[in-house]
Structure 1
Amino acid sequence: MPSDKNNKIPFEEDNYTHNIVRNNERKLDRRGFMKTLVGAAGAFAVSSLPWGAVAAKELIGLGDKEYPHKKITDVSKIPVGEAVEFTFPGEHDTALLIRLGENKYVAYQNACTHLRCPVFWVKEQGEMVCPCHHGFFDVETGAPTGGPPRRPLPEIQVKVEKGAVYAVRVKRYEA
């Protein structure tokens, strides 16, 4: 006759949860986890608001911000059709001044709007070229004419005064 030893419940209880120590049980269920997750996301969103306000304030004022006028070159030192590199508004913001006519000058920041590679003036083609990914920009407007760039180069407004060309401000990109 088979032994009844294997068919008996080892304890007097009628369920098998006797080995769970409820004092050490985790106290965070799914609902508690979701509340914690939503609370953390809300705290992160609220804590990032001041930085967004600072960034928005900076972006809104870019179009109106006039920097100290910076002399680029003397008019006599740049022949028609040639270009001069300079930095504006900061020392690490490279730019390009191109003399298109006797009294016509254009200047752009020369970092490609695709991946910030340097843009060069190619007089023979009459275009500004980004050699990294074969981007091309119109010299009159700074608008992309070929390649991957989709936004125009930021224009730098210049002023001719007393025989010299000065950088005045960076024109904000209009969408």
Structure 2
Amino acid sequence: MKERNNKIPFPEDNYTHNINRDNERKLDRRGFMKTLVGAAGVFAVSSLPWGAVAAKELMGLGEKEYPHKKIADLNNLPIGDAVEFKFPGEHDDAILIRLGEEKFVAYQNACTHLRCPVFWVKEQGEMVCPCHHGKFDVETGAPTAGPPRRPLPEIQVEVNQGAVYAVRVKRYEA
């Protein structure tokens, strides 16, 4: 009679012989969380130089004076009229409004809601954003109607030798 083989073919106590137990769990929950925290730390540390550059730029915005830019001659700008110009950069639209003989206001004319252009409506004496019917006070740049919540950034101007010059952008303060 032949001898029967009643032996278990593998030394394990169950049939998980096809799993290499040494490599079964290379990354458990704790290891995953450690990896996640480590990656977040690496990203945070790598962004510090950019944050420092941004902070340095923001700290100097209030005092930053740009090269003076001539906007218009006084004799070419009647009281109540406005002129559009670019300041401080070539892509920064702005508007100058002459309110009186010696009174001028200038603002960046991108609405503080969704950056639509803001127009001077002389007949109504107000600045209007046609996108969502936003309105701004011409004296202060503060919103008076519509969805905008922040005032228009003011551009400080100077009158010199019969012309109006843009000097600096006034920093927005909450």
Q: Which residue of 1 aligns with 2:159?
A: 160
**Residues of 1 paired with 2:43 and 2:56: CA distance?**
21
**Which runs of 5 or more residues in structure 2 are unaligned?**
1-7
Q: Which residue of 1 aligns with 2:18?
A: 19
1:84-107 Cα distance to aligned partner (Å, 9 max, x none)? 000111111110000001110000
**Residues of 2 paired with 1:119 and 1:173: CA distance?**
18
User: Which residues of 2 match residues 10-89 of structure 1 at below 5 A?
Assistant: 13-89=12-88
TM-score normalised by length of structure 1: 0.91
**Residues of 2 paired with 1:151 and 1:12: CA distance?**
75
Q: Which residue of 2 aligns with 1:108?
A: 107
**Residues of 1 paired with 2:23 and 2:61: CA distance?**
58
Q: What is the deviation of 1:60? A: 1.0
**Residues of 2 paired with 1:142 and 1:13: CA distance?**
80
Aligned-partner SS, 1:65: coil
**Residues of 2 paired with 1:85 and 1:137: CA distance?**
16
Q: Which residue of 1 aligns with 2:147?
A: 148
**Residues of 1 paired with 2:116 and 2:93: CA distance?**
11
Aligned-partner SS, 1:148: coil
Say whether 1:169 aligns with 2:173: no
How many residues align structurally?
A: 168
Task: Specify whether residues 10 and 74 from structure 1 end up closer, same or farther in structure 2 by C-alpha distance, changes over 3 A only.
Answer: same
Task: Specify whether residues 10 and 97 from structure 1 end up closer, same or farther in structure 2 by C-alpha distance, changes over 3 A only.
Answer: same
Aligned-partner SS, 1:46: helix
User: Which residues of 2 match residues 3-14 of structure 1 at below 5 A?
Assistant: 13-14=12-13
Aligned-partner SS, 1:107: strand
**Residues of 2 paired with 1:46 and 1:65: CA distance?**
29
Aligned-partner SS, 1:67: coil
Q: What is the deviation of 1:28? A: 1.0
1:35-65 Cα distance to aligned partner (Å, 9 max, x none)? 1000000000011011111111111111100
**Residues of 2 paired with 1:146 and 1:43: CA distance?**
45
Aligned-partner SS, 1:124: coil
User: Which residues of 2 match residues 116-155 of structure 1 at below 5 A?
Assistant: 116-155=115-154
Q: CA RMSD in A?
A: 1.6
**Which runs of 5 or more residues in structure 1 are unaligned?**
1-8
**Residues of 2 paired with 1:34 and 1:24: CA distance?**
19
Q: What is the deviation of 1:82? A: 0.4
